[in-house]
Chains A and B, each alone.
Chain A
Amino acid sequence: MLSIQNLHAEVDGQPILKGLTLEVKPGEVHAIMGPNGSGKSTLSNVLAGRDEYTVTQGSVTFRGEDLLDKAPEERAQAGVFLAFQYPVEIPGVGNSYFLKTAVNKKRAAEGKEELDAKGFLKLLKEKMALLEMDAKFKSRDLNVGFSGGEKKKNEVLQLTMLDPALAILDETDSGLDIDALRIVSKGVNSLRDKEHSFIVVTHYQRLLDHIEPDFVHVLKDGRIVKSGDKSLALELEAQGYAGIADAA
């Protein structure tokens, strides 16, 4: 699915990723944990194709194709989804209108027919019910005036609607109360199967209680310094990153 080899990336001439290697197979959930400034968000942004992040070395292939060569929208259409840490507000753009546009862009790229209004609304209703979202969010402007938790729910709504092969969740749990965390996790878990892969970037073990990872990686100073199964997250919770880093 995704193969990251010796990835080096910088922002404003400042090296952040310094030789990151990661292999994600179909159906796997990888959690990336690490202290502030370790490069977690940089990894998310590099994979999504953000301009300000320059790759200086290494390669990323997604389903056999060079990912770094593609424009952000091409990556999205190919099936890479980023749930943003800070979703932006876009005034005047209706949430469901935006979703329909996005869904149909992806379908067009896959050579599928556009979803008509009826089919789209049926799907939207189903996904919103899953995420326990009020119908009013359909007609509200995209993320405008949404609370932190509502924005994150809206990200996961987009995730479930777009049904990408690879989803990167960038600190989706931050700012969520315990109920919202449960609901958001339910949305993510609804996609889990042998085809869908996830990279879950988080600070906290508690998210991983809900979205159980197959692998946990510790990112420090732009490199993965330790990998393990979900028990590693518990270990981190107990000892902190300092302890792990020393051991590594």
Chain B
Amino acid sequence: MSSATVDEVVSKKYEFGFFTDIDADEAPPGLSEDIIRFISAKKKEPQWLLDYRLKAYRHWLTLEEPRWPKVDYPQIDYQDVIYYSAPKRPEDAPKSLDEVDPKLLETYEKLGIPLHERAALAGIAVDAVFDSVSVATTFKETLKEAGVIFCSFSEAVQDHPELVQKYLGSVVPHTDNFFAALNAAVFTDGSFCWIPAGVRCPMELSTYFRINAAKTGQFERTLIVAEEGAYVSYLEGCTAPQRDENQLHAAVVEIVCQKNAEVKYSTVQNWYPGDENGKGGIYNFVTKRGACRGDNAKISWTQVETGSAITWKYPSVILQGDNSVGEFYSVAVTSNMQQADTGTKMLHLGKNTSSTIVSKGISAMRGQQSYRGLVKVNKGAEGARNYTQCDSLLIGDRCGAHTFPYIEVKNPTAQIEHEASTSKVSEDQVFYLRQRGLSEEDAVSLIVNGFCKEVFRQLPMEFAVEAQALLAVSLEGAVG
């Protein structure tokens, strides 16, 4: 789009009439300032937020989609994507488990998901089977007593606009990258979490989230703020496969961590990975970043990623405060035709900052995986330390593992360690375990779980058990 047309569009007055000829619950495919105005109006957003979106959109128009990741997928037509559709009405959802894909149900069964949750996950109108309202209310009360704000992003915009305006884009600016700019322009919903100074969040923010944010859509926006001395453990996603029709996902997660605060962010991502021939599957382009703004702040990312056809994701920590700590623990699985280019960035700015990276990549079938990490120590980061361990495990001989570690050190007192290994699940190991009575699949699962142990240890207990089951399901049929 030329700048002349941009100007034209910008100067065009907001025309409400534009919407009358379309279904009120869905925007037509394509992206334009009108669509953004439509989204913003639908969500009854304040002017500053619309301005923010438009600014991001105009910047996005100047950007090119990144081509440097080691992933291969057909060109995305951004004008063919639907950027807004209202949450499904209960009458459109399946009425009972009988109407749900049996394959999906089989997977839930294997993962040991409780019956009532299976229904919710399969997209059945949950009110009928699961009293989400009362559960949500119970949690809300507990959180309210502690002074914690935890709600959907849209609610936060309405109820706490001053907090949203203060922090939105403060860690991942709308100019950050192609997908972050796109997200800033068109995000539809997500989660907002604010922990007041000195408060330890009384619960892990998980169960509630499952119910609350099951349909947040493809351009999710999450903002977590931990004020001075606050603590929160936040669990994103769940281990069951997400029923999702959207192919393109571009989410942004921002974490602000003030002095002496700690945020632990755990993800289990199991979106549809496509079939064994690479047909279908989610394209997952995520920007996740946290900033340790004050001294002694700590941000810890733990992720178990088994889904999506294409993954592009680098949860990062900006270590501004002195003595602040950043951690990244990751297990990523690519099986079938999945491709992942994933890793982290640790940016050391403050004195005596330290970071730990433990990345475990597992490739099976024809999966391709790249670890891409940056450890950067700025001039003023006296005494910075980093430890990186980057291990790849290959199953079979048609998959691939690649490592791209970048290390930039500008302060001579920094200590950086990098360890890397690549190994194969050997036939000797599998045979050994089979000779002790384990089936081939149990044997591989045991070996893979052993490989991931350091990361699973970081997950909350209940999550870790689910993650192990998930891993077994993801690698089913990967051997033999």
Judge: A and B partners, yes or no.
yes
| A interface residues, Cβ below 8 angstroms from B | 48-51, 71-73, 75-77, 81-82, 84, 87-88, 90-93, 98, 101-102, 105-106, 109, 141-142, 158, 162
Known: A73-B438, A76-B437. A91 touches B432 (CB 8 A): no
Known: A88-B426, A93-B446. A105 touches B453 (CB 8 A): no
- Minimum Cβ distance to chain B for residue A30 (Å): 20
A81 and B435 CA atoms in complex are apart in Å by: 7
Chain A positions within 8 Å of B427 at CB level: 51
Known: A93-B449, A101-B446. A50 touches B437 (CB 8 A): no
B451:A102 contact, CB within 8 angstroms: no
- Determine if B14 is an interface residue (Cβ-Cβ < 8 Å): no
- Top 10 nearest A-B pairs (CB, nearest first) are A92-B450, A105-B437, A93-B450, A92-B453, A72-B434, A102-B436, A76-B437, A73-B434, A88-B432, A88-B428
Of A71, A91, A93, A141, which one neighbours B434 at CB under 8 angstroms?
A: A71
- Minimum Cβ distance to chain B for residue A171 (Å): 16
Chain A positions within 8 Å of B437 at CB level: 73, 76-77, 102, 105-106, 109, 162
Chain B residue, CB-CB nearest to A142: B450
B450:A76 contact, CB within 8 angstroms: no
Chain A positions within 8 Å of B413 at CB level: none
20 chain-A/chain-B pairs, Cβ below 8 angstroms: A48-B435, A49-B435, A51-B427, A51-B431, A72-B434, A73-B435, A73-B439, A75-B435, A76-B435, A84-B435, A88-B428, A88-B429, A90-B432, A90-B446, A91-B451, A92-B449, A98-B436, A101-B442, A102-B437, A102-B438
B446:A98 contact, CB within 8 angstroms: yes
A77 and B437 CA atoms in complex are apart in Å by: 5
- Minimum Cβ distance to chain A for residue B430 (Å): 9
- Determine if B82 is an interface residue (Cβ-Cβ < 8 Å): no
Chain B positions within 8 Å of A50 at CB level: 431
B450:A158 contact, CB within 8 angstroms: no
Chain B residue, CB-CB nearest to A106: B437
A30 and B432 CA atoms in complex are apart in Å by: 23
Known interface pairs A88-B432, A105-B442; 15 further A-B residue pairs with C-beta atoms within 8 A, sorted by A's residue number: A81-B435, A87-B432, A88-B428, A88-B429, A90-B429, A90-B432, A90-B446, A90-B447, A91-B450, A91-B451, A92-B451, A93-B450, A101-B438, A101-B442, A101-B446
- Determine if B347 is an interface residue (Cβ-Cβ < 8 Å): no
Chain A positions within 8 Å of B431 at CB level: 48, 50-51, 72
Chain B positions within 8 Å of A106 at CB level: 437
A109 and B438 CA atoms in complex are apart in Å by: 11
Chain B positions within 8 Å of A88 at CB level: 426, 428-429, 432
- Minimum Cβ distance to chain A for residue B397 (Å): 15
Known: A91-B451, A93-B447, A141-B450. A84 touches B432 (CB 8 A): yes
- Determine if B97 is an interface residue (Cβ-Cβ < 8 Å): no
Chain A positions within 8 Å of B263 at CB level: none
Chain A positions within 8 Å of B357 at CB level: none
A105:B450 contact, CB within 8 angstroms: no
A84 and B427 CA atoms in complex are apart in Å by: 14
Chain B positions within 8 Å of A48 at CB level: 431, 435
Q: List CB contacts (< 8 Å) of B65-96 with chain A.
A: none
- Determine if B452 is an interface residue (Cβ-Cβ < 8 Å): yes
- Determine if B199 is an interface residue (Cβ-Cβ < 8 Å): no
- Minimum Cβ distance to chain A for residue B436 (Å): 4
Chain B positions within 8 Å of A72 at CB level: 431, 434-435
- Determine if B433 is an interface residue (Cβ-Cβ < 8 Å): yes
- Minimum Cβ distance to chain B for residue A108 (Å): 9
B452:A92 contact, CB within 8 angstroms: yes
B436:A158 contact, CB within 8 angstroms: yes
Chain A residue, CB-CB nearest to B439: A73
Chain B residue, CB-CB nearest to A103: B437
Most A-side CB within 10 Å, residue of B434, B440, B453: B434
Chain B residue, CB-CB nearest to A92: B450
Chain A positions within 8 Å of B440 at CB level: 73
Most A-side CB within 10 Å, residue of B427, B431, B437: B437
A91 and B426 CA atoms in complex are apart in Å by: 12
A48 and B453 CA atoms in complex are apart in Å by: 30
Chain A positions within 8 Å of B442 at CB level: 101, 105
Chain B positions within 8 Å of A158 at CB level: 436
A162:B432 contact, CB within 8 angstroms: no
A48 and B433 CA atoms in complex are apart in Å by: 12
Chain A positions within 8 Å of B452 at CB level: 92
Chain B residue, CB-CB nearest to A102: B436
Chain A residue, CB-CB nearest to B446: A93
- Minimum Cβ distance to chain B for residue A87 (Å): 7
A73 and B431 CA atoms in complex are apart in Å by: 9
Chain A positions within 8 Å of B433 at CB level: 90, 98
A75 and B438 CA atoms in complex are apart in Å by: 11
- Minimum Cβ distance to chain B for residue A214 (Å): 25
A172 and B426 CA atoms in complex are apart in Å by: 22
- Minimum Cβ distance to chain B for residue A160 (Å): 13
Chain A positions within 8 Å of B434 at CB level: 49, 71-73, 76
Chain B residue, CB-CB nearest to A168: B435
Chain A positions within 8 Å of B428 at CB level: 88
- Minimum Cβ distance to chain A for residue B333 (Å): 15
- Minimum Cβ distance to chain B for residue A73 (Å): 5
Give B229-269 as 1s and 0s: 1 = Cβ < 8 Å from A's Cβ atoms. 00000000000000000000000000000000000000000
A75 and B435 CA atoms in complex are apart in Å by: 8
A109 and B437 CA atoms in complex are apart in Å by: 9
Chain B positions within 8 Å of A71 at CB level: 434
A59 and B449 CA atoms in complex are apart in Å by: 38
Chain B residue, CB-CB nearest to A78: B437
Most B-side CB within 10 Å, residue of A48, A72, A87, A91: A72
